[in-house]
Structure formats: C-alpha cells, structure tokens
Structure 1
Amino acid sequence: MIRFENVSVTYDSAPEPTLRDVQLTVPEGELVLLVGPSGVGKSTLLGTVSGLVPHFTGGTLRGRVTVDGRDTRTHKPRELADLVGTVGQDPLAHFVTDTVEDELAYGMESLGLAPAVMRRRVEETLDLLGLAELRDRPIATLSGGQQQRVAIGSVLTPHPKVLVLDEPTSALDPAAAEDVLSVLQRLVHDLGTTVLLAEHRLERVVQYADQVILLPAPGEAPVLGTPADIMRVSPVHPPVVALGHLANWTPLPLSVRDARRRAGPLRERLSTCTPRTPTAEGTQRPRPATPRPAAAKRTLASLFRRPPVSPDASATTATATTGAATATATALGVRRGRVEALRRVDLSVTPGETIALMGRNGAGKSTLLATLVGMIEPTSGAVTVSGRTPHRTPPRELIREVGLVPQEPRDLLYADTVAAECAAADQDAGAAHGTCRELVSTLLPGVRDDTHPRDLSEGQRLALALAIVLTGRPPLLLLDEPTRGLDYAAKARLVTVLRALAAEGHAIVLATHDVELAAELAHRVVILAGGEVVADGPTAEVVVSSPAFAPQVAKVLAPQHWLTVAQVREALS
C-alpha cells in the first residue's frame, strides 16, 4: 500500500538529510508503528506519505513515495485527501470549522459525499470516539484531549484507505487512548485500513502493532520487523520491556498480560523488599537515597543560579524557608460559559512537593493550572500563590512566583532562533547570560543555536519552552502535559531536572495523562473528575488501586506497591 524507494529528505537550513535512503514497504491492512528517539525524522517520514513533505514543509525530497500507486511528489495533499487521512501532533492546526459536528462533516463535504451518507458516518464516529455529548460544542472550548479525538474523528469519516497519525494518544487520558486504539484496530481488522502511526508512549500501543519501523538516529536507515524483534534492539521501549530485560525474560513481554504470566518468581523475590518512594523533602524512604556523584551535583547546581532577588520576591524567600504553602485553593469554582469546569476544589501545594493532576480529558486539570497562574478568575472560592491573588497580581510581579508551561509550547516562542529565545529568557528572568542555553543543552542535546523553533519537533519545542520557564526559577512551577512528544530518554532528562528543582524547595504541579511520569516523579496524585477532586494522596496509594492510572510495573507486580523499573532494579541489586 505504501512504498518508499530510496527516499531522502533534506530541509533547506539543515546541513544533513533528516531521512536518508529509506527503502520500505508497508502492506495493506496492517497497523505499523513508527518508533525512535525525538528528532530522528518520524514526523518527516509520515509527512512524505500525506504529501505535506515537501509540498507544505519545503525542502528537497529525493526518491519516490507511492500510496496505492499515487506518487506523492506529483500529487499534492488535497489530491490525496480521498486516500490518506492525516492527523498531526497539533490538532489545532487541523481544524477548519467551529463546532465538533461541523468538523466531522467537513472532509466529506470536500469530497462531495451525499448528505445521508455524511449524517450516518458522523453519528457512527461520534459514538466510536465518545464525542456524542460534545457534538454542538465549539472546538475552542474543548480540552486538548477532546480536540485530539475530534481531529482523529474528522479523518475517519471520509473512510480513507490509509491513516497517518502522529502521536495520536499523546493528549488522551488512558481510557480514551485505549478507545482510540481499539477503533484503529477495528478499522485494520474489519475494513483493511492501513494505519501508519508514530508514538512515544509505547506502553499504550506496541501490543497492537503488526510491524514496527525503528528509526535509530537522524539519517540512519530504518529497521522493519515484528514488535518483539524490534523491541529487543530498540533504544526506546516501554517499561514492561525494560522489566523483561531486567528479569531476563525470553521472549520479551509486550503487554502487561504477557509480563504477569512470567512475573511470579520476581514477585516472590521482591516480597521481602520495600519500594523506595519519593517524599516532598527530596529524600526517599525507607532507606537513604544513594548520593549522586559530585560532578553531577555541580552540573545541576550550575543550571539553577538564582536571578537577583527583587524586593517583590521577599515573600517567595520567606515561603520557601518556612515551609508554608506555596499555593492554596479553597472551595474553588470556575464556570466557563455553560460548563462548570471546577467545583469546590481544595488544594494545598507546599515547597519541595511534586503533585500530579490526573483525570479524564475535560476533568478540569488545565483550568486549575490556568487559575493558579492568574489566567482565569475564579467564579467562587479563593486562590493564593505565595500570599498573592493570581488574577489580581500584575504579570511582571506574578512571573517571579509562578511559571506555566502550556500544552502548546508555541504560545511561549516568538523569536526566530533558539539562541534568541534563550537570550530573551535570560533577560526577562534577570538570570546570568547562558542560563537558558545550558538548560536547553541539558534537556535537548545537539540542537543548534540558529535553529528556528518551528523547525523543531513537538517534543523539542516543548523542551525549549520548558527551559525558558525554568530560567526564571519560579517557586511554583506548573506544567501542562510536559511529556507530550518526548521520548523516554528526553523524559528521563526532564525528571532529573524537576527532581533537582524539587530538592531545592520548588513546588511543582503537573497535569498529565502520563502515568509512568507520575509514578517516577510525583509525591502526591490528585485525580479530578467533573471538575471535582475525587482522590488525593501519596502516589503509590492512589495509582496502584486504579486500573486506569496505574503504571505498567504496578500492574505487573500488584498487589505489591512497585511503581517503576528503577525501584525494582535497586531492590534486586
């Protein structure tokens, strides 16, 4: 169905090809997963199938890509619309109408389908993706995950032969992600649809794949094989595969079910051990934390030199030293139009504490973060951050107290180069020259100063936006889906930086659907549902008892409270 013949892609500003001599065939009626570290060219490879590369992105395409016999060099994206359905990493860039139902119908209108056919397919898609209750909602009022589902639905209604999806579950809660993947599997099995998707959250999708394409590094030839064969050699793999490597299981498990069948002896070995769990004081219990090498300590310390403290920042210093709450919400309520986004929310965030906000799409997580940073005024109740009322505090004062990394990192990026973004961040934060650039190098190794932010992948842009916010070292750091688009290595670097900040006394609140990140980093998990807090407690206690929010290791080793491969590795050593 899809054939790559000696395909190379070189962008105008790049010294080396992003893709080089790709020779692949994707058969009809299979779900093929594209994996590899951030920045290796996965989005570029997908773009060649839809015709976006090079017709929209520019650059030079050598070789030939054909989809059902059509050459994408000679067919522009609109000439492939009846054959290829595409959803990119940013759903907002995908929409052309204002409401959910109109968006689902738009692609079929463009193809001239009969109104009766359009109506039936819209209803089918609303039911398939759980969007029926949102059919009349303006797209602008939806959460990021709800928008993602609408974007996927809009390419399903025309019934294309090929679906190309870039990070389709990155903004979805675990239950919604399973629903979307089950729909894709039904399309593959029942209708013979060919699905090519790139995804960093392999724990969600690898067990559904028929074949896996591994892009090892920029410019290197891809490797095609079965999921088991590729996961054995892939530098990126889900926690259940890492656990299999650690326990020397053969063959490697690809799903929780496979791993549980082999995990009896491992559970018995671990039954006399107690997992180390993070605490808000930056240590781990019940045993002392293993000290980090001195060189690593100096490196991390050098990244977080405090900017000069202004008189306005004195309250921040007092808060950090006394251990009083950095932020509090009391009986907080927020109404946005007809939607009651938050109801009677009570939350207290203390210095050095990392809290993961979890819950289904539309539960109110992003609204809560926006209220803490002063972007939304509460309808009822009260919010304070370091003794200030956020929505009444001038932005120049509030930025010293709280920083937000939004779901869309482009909202923070205005300059033409990475170097210019970093220089502006240093100036705005009053930080030493080079502070932001050091953070970028830590989170995003190998990115050149003259790179335009728009030429970065979604995960790379997020890392740049995060570095910009971290440069100001706010006492309260808010992150909305901070691992969207990040591979496992980039996520590990992010965890290292955030742990260092928490150890220094910074409070961190992250809204996330990434259960593995919550298990690795969070001291507490707060679960929202319908705008209300339905659970609030230590991470292990909350997530182990939740089928939706438990990480893979917890599911494999339940009822014991192991959350991460690192915990298991330390116990076995």
Structure 2
Amino acid sequence: MIRFEQVTIAYAEKPVLAGVDFEIPEGELCLVVGGTGAGKSTLLRAINGLVPHFTGGTLTGRVLVDGRDTAINPPRELADVVGMVGQDPVAGFVTDTVEEELAYSMESLAIPAAVMRKRVEETVDLLGLADLRDRPLASLSGGQQQRVAIGAALTAHPRILVLDEPTSALDPGAAEDVLAAVHRLVHDLAMTVVIAEHRLERVAQYADRVVWLPGSGVAPVIGDPGPVLADAPVAPPVVRLGQLAGWDPPPVSIRDARRLAGPLRERLRLLTPPVADIVPANAILTANAVSVRYGKTPAVREVTLTVSAGERVAVMGRNGSGKSSLLWALQGSGKRASGTVEVDGKDPASLKPPARRTKIGLVPQQPSDLLYLHTVAAECAQADAESGRPKGTCRALVDDLAPGIPDDIHPRDLSEGQRLALVLAIALTPRPTVLLLDEPTRGLDYPAKSRLAENLRALTRAGHAVVLATHDVEFVAEAAERVVVLADGEVVADGPVDQVVTASPVFAPQVAKVLAPQPWLTVAAVETALAAL
C-alpha cells in the first residue's frame, strides 16, 4: 500500500531523512518513532505529497502510495486515498462548526449528501462528538479540536490514515477511545494507518511494526515493536522496565508485562519507593473561589488553590474540564468571573506585562503564539533583554531542552517539540516566582521530558513554584509532587501524586499498572530500589 524506495529528503542540502526503504502493507498499523526533530513529520508528509509539493526541499528516490508516485501526484490527487491529521489540528480547519468540519472533506470529493449525513453520524458516534456537533471550533478545548480533526479525516473513508501526534492533546480516556477506534479500523476494515507519536505508552501496544528514525540522516531501523523500541532512546516505561527486569523481548503492553512481573514484584515486596522530601513553605500563589465563564457556560467553578514555594503541582482532568481556563485566570490575562488570585501578595491581573513575567509566567497550549521574530537567536536575545538576564541564558536553556537547534532557523520551521522547547526556554529565562505550563510535553520525546523535569526540579529547589496542566501521566509521575484533578470546572481530588494517580486506572502510569498493588511510579524509582539490594 505504501512503498518508500531509497528515499532521501533534504532541505538546503541538509538531509532530514536518508536511506528510507521499506513497505507498509494494507491493513497494518505502523508506528514511527524518534527524537524531537528526527524527521517523523517529514516522513509522514511524504506519504500524501506535502513533501516536496508544499514544503519544498529535495526528494530523491520514490514514494508510492497505492501505486501512485507522490512526486507526480500532488496532495489533491491523493486525497481520495490518504487522510492526514497534522500536529496542529487548528491549522487544518476550514469551517466554523464541528459538523461542518466533519462534512468538508466529503464535500471536496463530491460525495452525495445522503452518504455524507450517514458518515457524519458514524464518525460522531465513533469519536464521542455528539455533544459537540453544533459547537464553534474556536470554543473547543485542544483535545476536543484534535478529535474533530481526526473525525474530519475519517469521514472521507480514506484507505490510508496518517496521524501526526494524534493523542498529544487528549486526556488518557479520550486517547484510549481514539486509538481503540483506529485499531478497529485497521482490523475490521483493513485500513492502513501510519502514526508518529511521542507518547508511546499509549500506542505501542497497537503497532504491527515500528520505524525508528535515529535522526541526522541515518537510515531508519524497522521491525517488531519490542526489539526496536528496546534499542531506541525513546522507549516507553513498560519497555524500559522489561529491560531492567531482563525480560526478552521486552513487552510493549501492560497485559504482557503483568504476566512476567511476578518475580519482580516479589523482589520489591519489602522495599519502599522513595518519597520526595517536601519541606513546608510559605504559600506564594493563592487562589480563592475563582470562577471563569464563557457567556453563560461555566468553565471553572469557585476553585480554591494554594501553592507553596518549592511545590510542583500537576492539574489533571478530562478534556474540557477547565484546566487551561484556570491557568489563564491564575496568570492574570484570562478574565475571572469572580474570586481572587495573589502571587506574593499581588494580583497578577493588576501588573503590567514586564512585572507580571517575573511574578508568574505561562506557556500556553499553542506555544507558537508567543513567537514573533525571524530566528531562534533573535527570540533568545529578546528574552534575555526583556528579562534582564545575561546574554546566552535563554540559548543555554534551549540547548538543554532540545539540543541541536540552529541559531539562524525560523521558529516556524521548527518541529512542534522544538518550538515548545524554545517557548519553554523563553518562559524560564526570567525565572518567574510561579511558572504555569499548559500541556508542556506536547511534541517532546522521553529524554527531553526528563530534561524538562530536571529543570523544573531545579527551579523549585530555588524556591519557585510550578503548576502544570497536563494529560501526560508519565510526566506527572516523574515531575510532580502533588496532583489536583478537575471535573466540570471543580476540584474533585487534591493530594500527593502517588496517592492520586494510583487511585485511578485512567491516570496511573505504566509502572504502577504493571507492579500494582505496590505503589511504584517510575522505572528510575524501581532501578534505585533494586540497586540497594
């Protein structure tokens, strides 16, 4: 169905992909993995002809899709065969409401109205969009927008579905629903699916094969999920746990790991996971009865929250639960219907932007909204100047989060993960008293997330506080000390991370699921405990 024949793709004579030679048969789910900037999105865009017809660059070799050469057939000639959802679903929207967006791709293919109506209903049921069908797209949360984008691609009934980071903005439950739906399409309708994803803990168990892109123009490694991921630096926790325990080949699903984990659980039975040394400190962020409304729709309902110096707090909850609205209200740029917020005794909403940045910083879900200069070097220099920090401060943070980003590249030409790393560095440069992060791990690979977690720990050790809204349970297990769970704009749980995440099978990380009922959260904690035996 899809054939890469000795494909090399280069921009300005610098190869992004080289020596790509493999075939994906009909009815297979292929998972593309690799570090941030390794070329995953480039490979996916080559399948529907966006590379090189839209992106430019030089493509040598051939990409054949259902027998059609993508170098000859532009994306419009492949639209009946390939459906694609990019990293930024909003960039692909062309209508105003959910139902109109679901129908648009079918209108473009001149599908009869009766068939269109039937497919819209099928897709609404498949992806749980019934309650959203009449909503404006601009009013949806990031996760809801992502589900709509996937649905819009599915309504055209393509034979090939290409998904770039399809679960990055979805809560764990919604991600499972979407991936289960995709899995049914593969097994029941023999659809060919190609997915690039950083949150491998969600999708690796569904993959028939894995394509690992080492980056730097090195030829990809292709094979069965377990062996390939075991050699890759971006393996999910269950694979790393299997390597630590000596399971060969390492399992990629919780079920297979549980079957092997009995001896490991016995070794750990009398050991205790390390507990973070949390020293009580003064509250530096206080929110009292904060409410947010959009028109007559309540998004946040009288939330009271106190965060102390040195704390790392994760805000979790399903898509649309009010996490982003709460963060904007805390930062001061978002309007509050009622309630008060204070950071070091001052309301952020009353401060001018320069003073506010030193008190409370916010990295939004769409980090590119904060980028407006023409090069990475210019963005870093501006961040240093505005923050009054020494030259090179921001650039050093960028190199720590995502090494290898050139100074002269335009921020819009970066991958999603690289852009996020740049905006995170800009937000960290003034070292704000409180740092708010909205989905900070979108587009970041596992090593980059570990480096981000260490940066956040260093920040809190210096007396700052971090509040992050995220669906990434693995990152929460590694980086947070406390979890606040929202539902319909209200706080329904607030407590230590090990108690809150293990109490719910939806929010539990992979290691906790494999080793339950023992309270282990991360591979690093297990490794430390075993080393002490």
Q: How far off its partner does 1:50 sit?
A: 1.2
Counting only pairs closer than 5 Å after superposition, residues 507-518 of structure 1 correspond to structure 2 as 507-518=465-476
2:181 to 176, 180, 183: 183
Alignment check: 8 A CA contact 1:333 1:342 kept: yes
Cα deviation, 1:378-405, whole Å, max 9, x if unaligned, reads 1122222222222232222211101111
TM-align CA RMSD: 1.2
Per the alignment, residue 2 of structure 1 pairs with 2
Residue 534 of structure 1 aligns with an amino acid whose one-letter code is: V
Residue 141 of structure 1 aligns with an amino acid whose one-letter code is: S
Query: How many residues in Structure 1 have an aligned counterpart in Structure 2?
Result: 531
2:418 to 452, 460, 476: 460
Cα distance in 2 for partners of 1:478, 1:544 equals 24
Higher mean C-alpha deviation, range 93-102 or range 263-272: 263-272
Residue 196 of structure 2 aligns with an amino acid whose one-letter code is: A
Cα distance in 2 for partners of 1:486, 1:281 equals 30
Counting only pairs closer than 5 Å after superposition, residues 388-467 of structure 1 correspond to structure 2 as 388-467=346-425
Cα deviation, 1:113-161, whole Å, max 9, x if unaligned, reads 1111111111111111111001111111111111000000000000001
Q: How far off its partner does 1:201 sit?
A: 0.7
- 1:357 equivalent to 2:315? Answer yes
List runs of 5+ in structure 2 lacking aligned partners: none
Task: Look up the SS of the partner of 2:14 in the other structure.
Answer: coil
Cα distance in 2 for partners of 1:34, 1:381 equals 46
Q: How far off its partner does 1:560 sit?
A: 1.3
Per the alignment, residue 201 of structure 2 pairs with 203
Higher mean C-alpha deviation, range 412-421 or range 330-339: 330-339
Alignment check: 8 A CA contact 1:281 1:503 kept: no
Q: TM-score, normalised to structure 2's length? A: 0.98
Task: Look up the SS of the partner of 1:18 in the other structure.
Answer: strand
Task: Look up the SS of the partner of 1:25 in the other structure.
Answer: strand
Q: How far off its partner does 1:228 sit?
A: 2.1
Higher mean C-alpha deviation, range 246-255 or range 353-362: 246-255
Q: How far off its partner does 1:16 sit?
A: 2.0
- 1:110 equivalent to 2:68? Answer no
Task: Look up the SS of the partner of 1:415 in the other structure.
Answer: coil
Cα distance in 2 for partners of 1:164, 1:413 equals 28
Task: Look up the SS of the partner of 1:371 in the other structure.
Answer: helix
Residue 241 of structure 2 aligns with an amino acid whose one-letter code is: L
Cα distance in 2 for partners of 1:235, 1:136 equals 43
Q: How far off its partner does 1:332 sit?
A: 1.3
Q: How far off its partner does 1:45 sit?
A: 0.4
Q: How far off its partner does 1:531 sit?
A: 0.6
Q: How far off its partner does 1:370 sit?
A: 0.6
List runs of 5+ in structure 1 lacking aligned partners: 283-322
Alignment check: 8 A CA contact 1:280 1:354 kept: no
Cα distance in 2 for partners of 1:338, 1:103 equals 25
Q: How far off its partner does 1:53 sit?
A: 0.7
Residue 2 of structure 2 aligns with an amino acid whose one-letter code is: I
Per the alignment, residue 256 of structure 1 pairs with 254
Alignment check: 8 A CA contact 1:405 1:482 kept: yes
Per the alignment, residue 565 of structure 1 pairs with 523
Per the alignment, residue 173 of structure 1 pairs with 171
Residue 386 of structure 1 aligns with an amino acid whose one-letter code is: D
Q: How far off its partner does 1:164 sit?
A: 0.6
Cα deviation, 1:48-101, whole Å, max 9, x if unaligned, reads 001111111111111111110111111111221111100010011010011111
Per the alignment, residue 319 of structure 1 pairs with none
Task: Look up the SS of the partner of 1:459 in the other structure.
Answer: helix
Counting only pairs closer than 5 Å after superposition, residues 59-78 of structure 1 correspond to structure 2 as 59-78=57-76
Per the alignment, residue 463 of structure 2 pairs with 505
Cα deviation, 1:308-364, whole Å, max 9, x if unaligned, reads xxxxxxxxxxxxxxx432211111111112321011211111110000000100110
Alignment check: 8 A CA contact 2:434 2:465 kept: yes
Cα distance in 1 for partners of 2:278, 2:167 equals 30
Q: How far off its partner does 1:451 sit?
A: 1.5
- 1:20 equivalent to 2:28? Answer no
Per the alignment, residue 99 of structure 2 pairs with 101
Residue 290 of structure 2 aligns with an amino acid whose one-letter code is: L
Q: How far off its partner does 1:557 sit?
A: 1.0
Q: How far off its partner does 1:281 sit?
A: 3.8
Alignment check: 8 A CA contact 2:348 2:360 kept: no
Cα distance in 1 for partners of 2:296, 2:70 equals 45
- 1:42 equivalent to 2:40? Answer yes
Cα distance in 2 for partners of 1:102, 1:278 equals 49
- 1:337 equivalent to 2:295? Answer yes
Cα distance in 1 for partners of 2:118, 2:50 equals 30
Alignment check: 8 A CA contact 1:279 1:523 kept: no
Cα deviation, 1:278-305, whole Å, max 9, x if unaligned, reads 24449xxxxxxxxxxxxxxxxxxxxxxx
Cα distance in 2 for partners of 1:229, 1:270 equals 26
- 1:478 equivalent to 2:436? Answer yes
Per the alignment, residue 236 of structure 1 pairs with 234
Alignment check: 8 A CA contact 1:39 1:218 kept: no
Cα distance in 2 for partners of 1:149, 1:48 equals 23
Alignment check: 8 A CA contact 2:289 2:303 kept: yes
Cα distance in 2 for partners of 1:193, 1:375 equals 45
Superposition misfits of 4+ residues, deviation over 6 angstroms: none
Task: Look up the SS of the partner of 2:15 in the other structure.
Answer: coil
Q: How far off its partner does 1:257 sit?
A: 1.1
Counting only pairs closer than 5 Å after superposition, residues 281-296 of structure 1 correspond to structure 2 as 281=279
Residue 362 of structure 1 aligns with an amino acid whose one-letter code is: G
Residue 509 of structure 2 aligns with an amino acid whose one-letter code is: P
